[in-house]
Chains A and B, each alone.
Chain A
Amino acid sequence: MENTDHTDTIIQVRNLVNNFGDHSVHAGLNLDVKRGEILGVVGGSGAGKSVLLRTIIGLNKPTSGTVAINGRDQASLSQEEARKARREWGVLFQDGALFTSLTVGQNIKVPLREHFHLSDDLLDDIARSKVSMSGLSLDTCCKFPADLSGGMRKRAALARALALDPKILFLDEPTAGLDPIGAAAFDGLIRELTKSLGITVFLVTHDLDTLVRVCDRVAVLGDKKMLTVAPLKDVMKFDHPWIQDYFGGPRARAAGIN
């Protein structure tokens, strides 16, 4: 694949400040995401994980600070450039956010139709390929989101997020609300797909299993900034009460961390 930019960092967040009224969520947050890695972002409830994700994908305007993707400051893009830039990322929202009035197949075709003019036949073929890539059976294509189980909805949403062959995939709690078997399968799917497609993944999660099995590096949000960004082994050694609680708890032991 052609890389217009050969630097190692694909997302660069600098001195990010987010205030909502008097309430400060981020105060001078810095983060680098390397090309091709799977970065897991963890943090307590209300630590600002989702706000960070929304800020990076441009749904939330930061109070100050910059977000650069592929070396380009997102705030400086013109509307047309921003539209083009959005083709480079896929986002999987927590509940999938599939359009309820469209079938799964049509949901996958929405971004394709929006950005390209392709023949119906090719669109169908692409939609079917994405559906089977996401591990869904093909008869799911003409089902409506309301007819799917939670796990299937996540997979369908992943198929839509991958529709435009993104370079970066943002996942918001991909395994929340799934049973352990479904969650493990979804973890496997993310790992396998993103590695074979060469996608950079920014993953917000609470799931310790996901951290262990999927992520290359783990970023810990706390005290309004990044406490540490490192491979899981090193993060666990980091001396901070929240991190020690997080990785020292009974659930962490159950996930095979010690």
Chain B
Amino acid sequence: MADIVYHTKFICVEEGTPSSLVRFMGAWTIENAQDIDDAMAATVAAIDKGAVLDCTALTGLDTTGAVMIRRFAAEIDKAGAAVLTGVSADYKELMELISSCPAPAATEPEHLPWFLAPIIHTGEAFMRANTSIARLLGFLGLVLSRFFGTLLSPGRIRLVPMVHQMEVAGLNAMGIVGLITFLIGAVMVNQGAIQLQKFGAELFVVDLLGITLLREMAPLLTAIIVAGRSGSAFTAQIGSMKLNEEVDAMRTLGMNPIDVLVLPRLMALMICLPLLTFYADIVGIAGGVLMAWAQLDISPANFIVYFRDVVSYDHYLAGLIKAPFFAMIIASCGCYQGLRVAGSADDLGMRTTKSVVQAIFLVIVLDAVFAIFFTSVGL
């Protein structure tokens, strides 16, 4: 009488000569897959030579079950020969479909060992940043050459999209730009006054506010807000057109995507950002004036008179002159990343993030360069 060596709900191993008999029982379907798979190691351990795999007692089989039968057969084959018998007609086709064992192949993207990953990623990120900056410069050159070409023949300017972009990126940004600079102006006076009061020099908050706001804060804050608001919008708009092959369609219709998509946005931003900066100057100072009135009891009229005496026109100019350059960076980063979108929605999201980060980073770098430049020319 054959000895039962191993027994579960789905598998029964009987010892015999020359080979063991493995009965598969019950429903071998995906619902029971884990139980059956867990029993595999024990089953294989219970067999020393080969085995006959008997499928007559199966009451259900699906592709997952067929895959598992194949896995059992492959495992048992390592110990000795495995012979499959008793496959009923119902399951024959299914078994044939699955029986050709696929060679092992990765189903997930490769994972690096943990200790190498940060090093490799850093290196890759550095190289990527390098090529990215080089490409961005190339793109900027391309845009500028088209830009000056367009300036020479103004008929090529696409006025309607440009005005639309001016409305969306400029006019509609007035609320948030105004709110933020107003608060920053007020906070600067508030904090500055607390420090300066210790020296009895609270009147100098006017110098403090005038110089920092006009030279640095207003242009920088406006640029950062616009980069977050419009730079990302540019990437998303152009990127989704790219995914939809609209940009390619444009090319085949003889339209240059730089002319149609990039230049209107670039010009709109170059016009709007200085205007927004000027507006931010006014609102920021208004915030400061109100705070000075409330906290230090400096009346607005006194504030303005003193402001006119101490804050020269140079400070205002040094701030405003930066705005068109910031605009150029924001628009070209946004459009460049948009045009580089390829493949999937994932890429679009990544590019949008990248465009904002890159634009803000470059704006701040350029601001630093301007600061050094202005100091050395004495502005």
Contacts and interface: CB of A to CB of B under 8 A. Distances in A.
Interface stretch (A45-53, A120-128, A231-239, A245-253): A120-128
Interface in A102-132: 103-106, 108-109, 112, 116-119, 122-132
A229 interface: no
Interface stretch (A55-63, A142-150, A172-180, A211-219): A142-150
B102 A100 contact: no
Nearest to A196: B93
Contacts of A75: none
Contacts of B68: 122
A126 B30 CA distance: 10
A165 B30 contact: yes
A108 B62 CA distance: 16
Contact of B344 (A101, A109, A196): A101
B37 A119 contact: yes
A1 interface: yes
Interface in A152-185: 162, 164-165
Interface string A189-204: 0000101110000000
Interface string B41-82: 000000000000000000111111011100100000000000
A132 B66 CA distance: 14
Given A106-B107, A129-B102, A145-B344, A2 B30 contact: no
A116 B30 contact: yes
A105 B94 contact: no
Contacts of A112: 30
A124 B108 CA distance: 9
Chain A interface residue number, banded: 35 or more
Given A2-B60, A165-B64, A127 B107 contact: yes
Interface of A: 1-2, 100-101, 103-106, 108-109, 112, 116-119, 122-133, 138-139, 141-142, 144-146, 162, 164-165, 193, 195-197
Interface of B: 27, 29-31, 33-34, 37-38, 59-64, 66-68, 71, 93-94, 96-98, 100, 102-110, 342-346
Given A104-B107, A116-B31, A138-B102, 11 more contacts: A2-B27, A2-B59, A100-B346, A101-B346, A106-B108, A122-B68, A129-B102, A141-B106, A144-B343, A165-B29, A197-B97
